[in-house]
Amino acid sequence: MQFVPRPAFDINASGAGDHGDLPEWNLTDLYESPDAPELKRDMDWLEEACASFAADYDGKLAGLDAAGMLDCVLRYEKIDMIAGRIMSFIGLRYYQITTDSERAKALSDAQDKITAYTTPLVFFSLEINRINDAALDALFAENADLARYKPIFDRMRTMRPYQLSDELEKFLHDQSTVGSAAWNRLFDETIAGLEFHIGDETRGLEATLNDLTDQNRDTRETAAREVARVFGENVKLFARVHNTLAKEKEIEDRWRGMPTPQTGRHLSNHVEPEVVQALRDAVVNAYPQLSHRYYELKRKWLGLERMEVWDRNAPLPMESERLVGWDEARETVLSAYGEFDPEMAKLAEPFFDKGWIDAAVKPGKAPGAFAHPTVADVHPYVMLNYLGKPRDVMTLAHELGHGVHQRLAAGQGELLSSTPLTLAETASVFGEMLTFRRLLKNAPTKAERKVMLAGKVEDMINTVVRQIAFYDFECKLHEARRSGELTPDDINALWMSVQGESLGPAFDFMDGYETFWAYIPHFVHSPFYVYAYAFGDGLVNALYAVYEEGGDDFQAKYFEMLKAGGSKHHKELLEPFGLDASDPSFWNKGLSMISGFIDELEAME
């Protein structure tokens, strides 16, 4: 179970403030409580089900007929469902208060148990990959219900060239709780426990980062320097986390024979390396037309000779400091969704009414935002840290897009509902775009339109330029780690090597900014995840261009795409829209939308 937040836009503070009555999660659709008898029942069932599955099928998969293979897959899916339900409940409780020792222990204990229970299942994918293609194809041809699961078999079989012995695969599975999972927890708990001193106030990271979007430049500088101070004091620990995880990955990749550190991510995303490279190259080549050009505009608006890093997300001088209450945020997003299609608003509405959103900032709560799908027979849960800023409204639109997508894809069942990361951002970014377009259309003045356009450009730069710079940093980090241990100064230098290139000549970089890689959770939880954001943004920009061209059937095609979940490749999903992500010009089409917004901003000067 992973809870991967959207790209960080440096938001959040503490307390509900004047934002209205912010909702909290009601997790009873998973389990009533941590000591619910149903939770113990399911954990006991899981132990027995895994053992009996292994007893019935280990060493026997190649001899199954089509009906027997279908029964095997259905039993495997039920195990996956129950394990997912348990870990969703315990994990969501933990993310509500990551500093609570009882919740942390519950998460660790559950991970240990489920890892131990499911270790006997490692044989499943290994044996499937030893069956020859003709034999599997014959089974699919014989049984249509089994053939529906072919995408699952296809995904497993992409790992065939990199598969280790059964014993080694079981070992890697078994030791994961004291490997990457343990280092992930250390990172999460360290980040949650950091203390920052602003004046007489002691805060957490999110509250301090929130000051980087304050109108007052001195406030922004104070926050940036305090973040740099605390990161500097802890940089050795963060360097240890990154060194260990990168080395662990290098060892496993080497044993598997994977040609690059990125290969595993590309395989799990079902995307070709050349497609990702085309995306990366298109964005890097567009830096001068995008981020460099925009930040030079912003430098002039702010009246600065040079910008500092604490000016990157500064509000514009003409921007209102008005906060958006929760009820207004809800109405804004649901109305935007409903204008696109009433069904989309209908799918989003229960999140507000049934305890599917946890919105308030609270001590110990995980930073950022995410939408977690739980399991196919329940529903997703959305986590926010809502402070009423316009970007918070966009975050709400983004995470609800994930939630709508996950609800629609759930019809595929537990194994087929999970969407590759490259497509997982489609509905979220599309939801943001719908909300933005509605707000832009209703902007009452030219000044407000300018502020909105600038805000959208900044969000798109954060989603595309910043994430590709992150991707380049990760590529450099993992490549450098192959040659030996990296000192904090080594990692700092890699970070700075991509920052100036991506942000452009308008910026100076304060002492201490070189440590700002330390808090990005994606580098720790999901190496090379970040390009999925740029992939999703480019894909949505191209999709939205098709939508604007008209056609009564766009909504129907769009919902069918979301309903497909992980059952189809990106090429097949985009074909009805006349789009192809393997065409290099596809990415330029997406980037041209950002460039067009900057053109409009320049024309307003």
| pLDDT at 8 > cutoff 70 | no
Cα separation of 103 and 7, whole Å?
A: 26
Coil, strand or helix: which one is 530? Answer: coil
Q: Is the pLDDT of residue 120 over 70?
A: yes
CATH of 31-178, one of 1.20.140.70, 3.90.1150.10, 3.80.10.10, 3.40.630.30: 1.20.140.70
Q: What's the pLDDT score for residue 18?
A: 62
Mean pLDDT of the chain: 91
Q: How many CA atoms lie within 13 A of 542 on its CB side?
A: 23
The reported pLDDT for the residue numbered 158 is 87
Determine the pLDDT at residue 536.
86
Query: Whole-angstrom Cα distance, residue 144 to residue 152?
Result: 14
Q: Which residue has the tokens 């029964």?
A: 71
Whether 162 shows a pLDDT value over 90: the answer reads: no
Helices and strands in the chain, H and E counts: 27, 5
Nearest to 182 by CA among 115, 108, 131: 108
Q: Average the pLDDT over 417-429 and give the result.
A: 84
Contact at 8 Å (CB) between 495 and 514?
yes
The candidate with the shortest Cα–Cα distance to 74, out of 419, 416, 567, 568, is 416
d(C-alpha 39, C-alpha 109), whole Å = 13
| Token pair of 25 as six digits | 């999660």
Q: What is the pLDDT of residues 491-543, one digit of tens each?
A: 999 999 999 999 999 999 999 999 999 999 999 999 998 998 899 888 888 89
Q: Work out whether strand 196-198 and strand 381-383 pair parallel, antiparallel, or are unpaired.
A: unpaired
Is the CATH number of domain 326-462+535-569 3.40.50.1820?
A: no
pLDDT at 585 over 90: no
Closest by Cα among 459, 381, 363 to 10: 459
Share above pLDDT 90 across residues of the chain, in percent, rounded to a whole number = 71
Separation CA 362–CA 399 (nearest Å): 19
Token output for 227: 């973040």
477-488 pLDDT tens trace? 999 999 999 999
pLDDT in tens, 267-288: 888 889 999 999 999 999 999 9
pLDDT for 16 equals: 41
Would you say residue 165 has pLDDT above 90?
no
**Strand pairing partners for 358?**
383
- Say if residues 139 and 146 touch (Cβ distance below 8 Å): yes
CA–CA separation, 573 and 172 (whole Å): 34
Distant-in-sequence, close-in-space partners of 505: CB < 8 Å, separation ≥ 6: 292, 296
Q: Which residues contact 554 (CB under 8 A, 6 or more apart)?
A: 546, 547, 577
Percentage with pLDDT > 70 across the chain: 97
Any bridge partners for residue 383, and if so which?
358, 370
Q: What integer is the mean pLDDT of 452-465?
A: 92
Instruction: Please check whether residue 311 is in contact with residue 214, taking contact to mean a CB–CB distance below 8 angstroms.
Output: no
- Which whole number is the average pLDDT over 313-321? 82
For residue 3, pLDDT over 60 is answered with no
Q: Does position 401 have pLDDT exceeding 90, yes or no?
A: yes
The 3-class secondary structure across 305-340, one letter per residue, is CCECHHHCCCCCCCCCCCCCCHHHHHHHHHHHHHHH
pLDDT at 419: 85
Summarize pLDDT for 591-604 with one digit per residue, the tens.
999 999 999 999 98
Residue 84 CB partners (closer than 8 Å, separation 6+): 1, 374, 375, 414
Exposed / middle / buried, residue 128 (Cβ in 10 Å: 0-12, 13-18, 19+): buried
Res. 225: pLDDT tops 90: yes
Cα–Cα distance between 454 and 289 in angstroms, integer? Answer: 15
Residue 571 has pLDDT above 90, yes or no: no
Rounded to whole angstroms, the Cα distance separating 61 from 50 reads 16
Q: What would the two tokens of residue 415 be?
A: 């194994």
The single residue listed with the structure tokens 């789009």 is: 579
Q: How far, in Å, CA of 53 to CA of 485, rounded?
A: 42
Which has the minimum average pLDDT: 152-166, 205-219, 300-314?
A: 152-166
Q: 17 pLDDT exceeds 60? A: no
- Given this model, what pLDDT does residue 257 score? 95
Separation of alpha carbons 522 and 527, rounded Å: 6
Question: What does the domain layout of the chain look like in residue ranges?
Answer: 31-178, 326-462+535-569
Same fold, 31-178 and 326-462+535-569: no
| Structure tokens given for 62 | 């190649």
pLDDT of residue 15: 37
Residue 583 confidence class, pLDDT cut points 50, 70, 90: confident
Residue 328 CB: number of other CB atoms within 10 A? 14
Please compute the mean of the pLDDT values over residues 426-446 and round it to a whole number: 89
User: Which is it for the CA torsion 139, 140, 142, 148, positive or negative?
Assistant: positive
What's the average model confidence in pLDDT over 331-343?
Answer: 96
Condensed to tens digits (0 to 9), the pLDDT of residues 173-204 reads: 888 878 888 899 999 999 989 999 999 999 99
